Structure 1
Amino acid sequence: MIIPITDLTEETLMNIIEGFVLREGTEYGEADVSLADKVQQVSAQLAIGDVLLVYSELHETVNIIPKQQLGDFELSEAQQQL
């Protein structure tokens, strides 16, 4: 299920994004990127819709996924519930 980012408080959204960035440990190449910069980048991607905030009823978790992976996410959720 997609969670509209406008349904969350700014503090809650920032906590979710920060947790995602820390959990993902994304490699940004040779240059170090600060946590604040990474959070800002993910926030911007959410704002323009390149990535989505999704809730998994099966796992009772919230995650951030690329928009292109939404179909795969929904299919995986449906298959695991069978």
Structure 2
Amino acid sequence: MDQVIEIPWESIESETLTNILAEYVTRDGTDYGEQEVPTDTKVSQVRRLLAQGTCVLIFQPEDQSLTLMDTQVWKQMQRGLQV
């Protein structure tokens, strides 16, 4: 398995980041419950989480995909990879 890479979200052009986040929040398995939440709202919520440092944007070379990961989980993974 290739090593996953953290992508600094601030380095991504705003429109591109919006498109990445929109793709992420509309993936299968990202249901937000019984009430329908507009995609723009979901994107804003995730963008806020990135800005707060709660999550990070991760690139997975193996399948050429981007995903989001909880910052604490990412840090634990990094420590585990350095062992």
- Structure 1-normalised TM-score? 0.76
Q: CA deviation at 1:24?
A: 4.3
Structure 1 residues without counterparts, runs of 5 or longer:
none
CA deviation after TM superposition for structure 1 residue 59, in Å: 2.3
Structure 2 gap ranges (5+): none
Q: Which moved more, 1:34-43 or 1:54-63?
A: 54-63
Cα displacement (A) at 1:2: 0.8
Q: Which amino acid aligns with 1:53?
A: L
CA RMSD, aligned part only?
2.1
TM-score, scaled to structure 2: 0.75
What amino acid does structure 2 have at the position aligned with 1:41?
Answer: Q
Residue 59 of structure 1 corresponds to 63
User: 2:7 maps to what in 1?
Assistant: 3
Partner of residue 37, structure 1: 41
Q: 2:52 maps to which residue? A: 48
Q: Which residue of 1 aligns with 2:18?
A: 14
| Greater per-residue helix proportion | 1
